[in-house]
Amino acid sequence: MRRKMPTEAEKILARGCGRARTQAGEIVEVEVDRAMVHDNNAALVIENFGRISGASVKHPNRAAFFIDHHSPSTTVKATLHHDLMRRFTKEHGIERFHDCGCGISHVTMLEEDLARSGEIVVGTDSHTTGEGARGAFATGIGATEMAAVLVTGRIWFRVPETICVIFEGTLPKDTCARDLMNCVLSRFGPEGANYRSVEFQGDGIDALSFDDRIMCCVMSMEMGAKNAMFVQHPDQHPDPDAEYVRTERFDLNGIEPNVAVPSSPTNAWPLSEIETQKIRINQAFIGSCTGGLLSDIEKAAGILRGKKVAKGVRLLVIPASKKIYGETLSLGYIEALHDAGAIIGSPACGACGGHDVGILAKGEVCVANSPRNMKGRMGAGGAIYLGSAATVAASAMAGYVTAYKSDSNGGYD
């Protein structure tokens, strides 16, 4: 029998620990290529850094600090943490400090080429998996561990088994990549990829935009993935002989619009079944690292141009980065959304984390294209439905959770 070939995660971690190869299950210590810290966890990182004897930042040029959760801050405590970050980065020569309004770390890092193919990236955010869109091994870690990474430049990993997710065919009209990813999450469940690496493959990925790929990699975390990747580098093609622990195929032709109902991102239901229930919404949110990308805002603006948000619905639109905000302004998307009745927020995580704007009152319902809908996510007692930008825009117009139908001639009541 032919010897199985290493998976992409095994290859990248082998390079990280200076060996020819590694195998799933081994524990290895690797050099970190990029370490991201954001304001939600920075105070704990800095406190723990202070507990390390003789601590200094080993590679200031590999660290990147972001203010993206409380941006701009709305609480005194968050402001103090921001101040701490500004002083820490200055004191330790960390030049990559992204202040309020820069946008979300994951998206901004990809824009600024801070997560390259084959690199090992760690971040103090579970959705760091999103940085795998260009083929980096990117994963989330906690604050204490990040403090140690800043000092040592290294981290231990158990080399993960790899799951191969194969997309075949083409998505039907009015179906988005988010609908597809909701189906992937539904098949795997909340723990289906726990501790494992996810590789996306198949001819269906050719039609996925870079924005779609970011969304797929971020959302993989919701089935537990350690990291997720679209392998891009010419000498890093997915290997048909690689040792995958599980391979799942998805026929894109058969995917229909759907939403994840409360309270797990893996609870996907077809919209054809949900919309008949006419679930009234109080808030619609287009934003976050899975939903505030240029293509999301373009889609929402296209649907809402010349139309109005339903009475009693707050539509909140937050571009994921400063760059995206600028593009949506110059392309007229923001104007169209503003005219439709949207509230536009400063580039940041926004309602997804509930830290600054868009908190739900008890009993309120939100439809969003953000990544999470766990209990209490946007406020205690709120309920969140997760779908595509098209679904959020159509629901905002209708006033209840519904799918976008391009041939409906504006029949939203």
Residues of this chain that interact with another protein (CB under 8 A) are 27, 40-41, 43-44, 47-48, 51-54, 70, 75, 77-78, 81, 124-126, 128, 140-145, 147-148, 151-152, 156, 190-191, 194-195, 222, 224, 226, 264, 353-355, 372, 374-377, 380-381
CB-wise, 296 or 356, nearer to another protein? 356
CB-wise, 4 or 77, nearer to another protein? 77
CB-wise, 24 or 171, nearer to another protein? 24
In the complex, the smallest distance separating the C-beta of residue 142 from another protein, rounded to whole angstroms, is: 4
In the complex, the smallest distance separating the C-beta of residue 360 from another protein, rounded to whole angstroms, is: 12
CB-wise, 124 or 258, nearer to another protein? 124
In the complex, the smallest distance separating the C-beta of residue 125 from another protein, rounded to whole angstroms, is: 6
CB-wise, 128 or 290, nearer to another protein? 128
In this structure, what token pair is assigned to residue 45?
């990182």
Q: Can the peptide bond before residue 263 be classed as cis, meaning omega within 30 degrees of 0?
A: yes
In the complex, the smallest distance separating the C-beta of residue 346 from another protein, rounded to whole angstroms, is: 18
Residue 214 near residue 128, CB atoms below 8 Å: no
Residue 162 near residue 257, CB atoms below 8 Å: no
**Measured distance CA(23)–CA(47) in Å, rounded:** 35
In the complex, the smallest distance separating the C-beta of residue 111 from another protein, rounded to whole angstroms, is: 22
Instruction: Enumerate the H helices of 63-209 as residue ranges.
Output: 76-91, 105-111, 143-152, 177-188
CB-wise, 145 or 339, nearer to another protein? 145
CB-wise, 68 or 174, nearer to another protein? 68
Quick one: CA dihedral 188, 364, 356, 341, positive or negative?
A: positive
Q: Where are the beta strands (DSSP E) in 243-358?
A: 244-251, 258-260, 268-270, 283-286, 314-317, 343-344
> For residues 290-328, b (16+ Cβ closer than 10 Å) or e, as one string?
bbbbbbbbbbbbebbeebebbeebbbbbbbbbbbbbebb
In the complex, the smallest distance separating the C-beta of residue 388 from another protein, rounded to whole angstroms, is: 21
CB-wise, 159 or 393, nearer to another protein? 159
Cα separation of the two ends of the chain: 63
In the complex, the smallest distance separating the C-beta of residue 54 from another protein, rounded to whole angstroms, is: 4
CB-wise, 290 or 402, nearer to another protein? 290
CB-wise, 287 or 399, nearer to another protein? 287
In the complex, the smallest distance separating the C-beta of residue 156 from another protein, rounded to whole angstroms, is: 8
Residue 242 near residue 217, CB atoms below 8 Å: no
Task: Write the burial class of residue 26 (CB in 10 Å: 0-12 exposed, 13-18 middle, 19+ buried).
Answer: middle
**Measured distance CA(171)–CA(258) in Å, rounded:** 13
Q: What is the largest CA-CA distance in the chain?
A: 67
In the complex, the smallest distance separating the C-beta of residue 34 from another protein, rounded to whole angstroms, is: 16
DSSP reduced 3-state for 298: helix
In the complex, the smallest distance separating the C-beta of residue 325 from another protein, rounded to whole angstroms, is: 24
Helices 294-304 and 322-330: angle between axes, nearest 10 degrees: 30
In the complex, the smallest distance separating the C-beta of residue 221 from another protein, rounded to whole angstroms, is: 8
CB-wise, 166 or 184, nearer to another protein? 184
Task: Write the burial class of residue 5 (CB in 10 Å: 0-12 exposed, 13-18 middle, 19+ buried).
Answer: middle
DSSP reduced 3-state for 373: coil
DSSP reduced 3-state for 165: strand
Angstrom CA distances, 156 to 30, 220, 243, stand at: 6, 21, 22
